[in-house]
Amino acid sequence: MAMVRPYRAADLPALYDICVRTADNGADGSHLYENPKIVGEIFAAPYAALLPDHAFVAEDDHGVAGYILGAPDTRAFEARCEAEWWPRLRERYADTADVPSRQRTREQWDAYYIHHPPPNPQACIDAAPAHLHIDLLPRLQGQGVGKRLMDAFLARVGGRAHLGCQAPNTRAQRFYEIYGFRRLEGVGPKSVVWMAIG
């Protein structure tokens, strides 16, 4: 049985690893990247660095294999990232705005994101100001670990949060709906399904 516990600084390498190994719509995305850390620089590390008290991990006998990360105030977190997180990364990752969007690789899209991070849709903020990211490696899936992580995070933020899920990741969407999230229709591009709870 995996243990759910608060994040510790020593867990950061595991967060990067889990992030890339779930980056292909929930499946291993390692093959999509020459630099496997770049996706974690966006969707995992800033939360661990800036809001570690809102991060939880799931650990079994083989190590950390799942996490939930997020922010209680999405707009405040976006502003803090702009001030404290993105500038450092922009020195390391070149902007790919000059690459036609249809020709960008996943890694080039992530580099573009670092230079042009999109704000979460206002309709999501209106539904629930907090947001989260949750990822589990296959060995922890289907055991109730995701629910325990979700319980821990939502207790920390008062039971209200939103999230975005890539449209092809229907397995994750089923989990969210069973947990109690509702879809926010007509929000953002069709490539992302936005959901909220609370």
What are the C-alpha distances in Å from 95 to residues 34, 80, 105, 108, 116?
16, 20, 13, 8, 9
Q: Are 75 and 130 in contact (CB under 8 A)?
A: no
CATH of domain 3-197: 3.40.630.30
CA 138 remoteness from chain centre: 17
How many Å separate Cα 120 from the centre of its chain?
12
Neighbouring C-alpha atoms within 13 Å toward the C-beta of 75:
8
Determine the 3-state secondary structure of 191 from DSSP: coil
Amino acid found at 150 = M
Q: Of the candidates 167, 169, 130, which has an alpha carbon nearest to the alpha carbon of residue 150? A: 130
What is the rounded distance in angstroms from the CA atom of residue 181 to the CA atom of residue 165? 12
Tokens describing residue 187: 């929000």
pLDDT tens track, the chain, 198 positions: 899 999 999 999 999 999 999 999 999 999 999 999 999 999 999 999 999 999 999 999 999 999 999 999 999 999 999 999 999 999 999 999 999 999 999 999 999 999 999 999 999 999 999 999 999 999 999 999 999 999 999 999 999 999 999 999 999 999 999 999 999 998 877 889 999 999
